[in-house]
Every structure is written in C-alpha cells, then in structure tokens.
Amino acid sequence: VCTQQELLLCQSLPKNLLFQLLGLSIATLSTVTHYGLHFTLISNISLESNSYRVIHHAAFYFGICLSMTLILAALLSSAATVQESQCLTAMGFFCFALAFCGLIPAACWRYTHGTEVENSMMDVYDLVYEEVRRNASSFRRHELTAIHEAFLCCGKRSLFGDTANVERKTCPSGQVRDAGQDCLQEIQDFLKKHMDFVSMLLGITIGFTVYGMILTSFLWFSIHFSSNLDRKGKYTLR
C-alpha cells in the first residue's frame, strides 16, 4: 500500500519528465529557427532598418529562457516531491507562473503581429532582387542566388520590365523560370508552415504550464496538511 507522499511521487515524476521534454522541444525549435539556413540567410542579408533581425534574435533568446524556466520548474517540482519541501514547491510554482506570464504576451504577439515576420522576410528578398535588377551588383547577385538555392525558388513576378536576365544569372542551374516557384510565394508558404508549428507548440506549452501551476499548488497543500497531521497527537515533556 502506497502512502500519500509515495502516491504523489508516482504521479508527479512522469509529468515532470513531460515538462522537461517540452522544455527541450522549445529549445530545439529555437535553435533550429536561429541557426537554420533559411532564417540565418535572411537575417544576414537584412538591413538594420528591417525589423526581421531584431525579431530573429528576440525569438531565440525568448525560446531559450522559456525552455530553461520549464526545465527548472520540473526539476524543482521533482525535488519538492522527493524531499516533501514546501519551499521547493513554491519555487516550482513561481517558475511555472513566470513561464505563463511570458507565454501569454508571446501568443498575443503571434496573432496580432503574425504578418510582420512574413512581410519583413519578403521585404529583404524584394530589396536584394531589385538591387540586382537595377545594378547587377555581384555581391547582391551572390546573395540572391543563395536565397534561390535555399528556398528552391526562382525569381518573382515583377511589374518593372523583363526579369529573365536576373533569373537566368541567379536561379539554380537547370531550373527553368516557368517551372520554378515564385520566391515571394515560396517564402510565405515556408514561413506559414513554420509559424503554424510555433503556434501549436505555444498552445501546448500554455496548457501544460497551467497544469503545472495546478499540480504544484496541489502538491504544496498536500505537503502542508500532511505535515500538520503528522504533528497531531505528539507531545513533548518540558
């Protein structure tokens, strides 16, 4: 027969492992977003006036801090369950609450400024493409070629005259313009898939964070009342 504390230990440790896995998933996604070829390429090309570089770095640091907070909360909850410590439980609740307070603004920003990332990335491509079309800069032409190779696309539909010369020099070898993908549409589709995955992970993390706060609250009260019950009927002689 398991005691109440042993039952709490059996129930909370697997859940704390899920929180650690969730934190590692967020850290992995943040690292892939920050160091992935598509994102680093656009970030390196973007100008200081473009907001993408700021968003790119802010998203990475936010994701790493969030993952560390969730992992720390899970470790504190596990230690609190093993040691039956109210202090560690309160610290675990604080970490979950801190993560929740960061997740809500991030989710709101995702749905209110979701097109800002998309527009900033397409602005970078427009800038490079138009500079190559007007000046035929070798440096910009190299950057445009790298974008075409990374996104597997070729040029864009332009209203400013013939663009076949630009695309012939910058599209991957063997790719015909008519068979190629419009780069603006390709960037938009790529980012939409990525942001949909980010939104799904944000929703799951918010749900688990709320559950973590409830779990640590229940654990704190359980340890508190169990400690008080253990003192009943015990007397000391002075």
The residue-averaged pLDDT of 170-184 equals 65
What are the structure tokens assigned to 73, written together?
A: 């909360």
> Could you write out the DSSP letters of every residue in the chain?
---HHHHHHHHHHHHHHHHHHHHHHHHHHHHHHHHSHHHHHHHHHS-TTSSHHHHHHHHHHHHHHHHHHHHHHHHHHHHHHHHT-HHHHHHHHHHHHHHHHHHHHHHHHHHHSHHHHHHHHHHHHHHHHHHHHHH--HHHHHHHHHHHHHHT------SSS--HHHHHHHSPTT--TTTSPPHHHHHHHHHHHHHHHHHHHHHHHHHHHHHHHHHHHHHHHHHHHHHHHHHTT-----
* pLDDT (0 to 100) of residue 1: 40
What are the structure tokens assigned to 95, written together?
A: 């970490």
Q: Which of 65, 22, 37, 57 is nearest to 211 (CA)?
A: 22
What percent of the chain is modeled with pLDDT above 90? Answer: 37
Q: Which residue in this structure is represented by tokens 């663009």?
A: 163
pLDDT at 167 over 80: no
23 vs 78, which has greater pLDDT?
23
* pLDDT (0 to 100) of residue 218: 83
Contact by Cβ (8 Å): 171, 154: yes
What percent of the chain is modeled with pLDDT above 70? Answer: 80
pLDDT at 67 over 90: yes
* pLDDT (0 to 100) of residue 153: 85
* pLDDT (0 to 100) of residue 133: 82
pLDDT-derived band at 232, boundaries 50, 70, 90: very low
The residue-averaged pLDDT of 5-30 equals 75
Mean pLDDT, the chain, whole residue set: 81
* pLDDT (0 to 100) of residue 179: 47
Q: Which of 12, 38, 49, 70 is nearest to 223 (CA)?
A: 12
pLDDT at 70 over 90: yes
Q: What angle do CA 198, 110, 49 make, to 5 degrees?
A: 110
The residue-averaged pLDDT of 30-56 equals 89
Over residues 82-105, the pLDDT tens digits come to 787 888 889 999 999 999 999 999
pLDDT at 180 over 60: no
pLDDT at 173 over 80: no
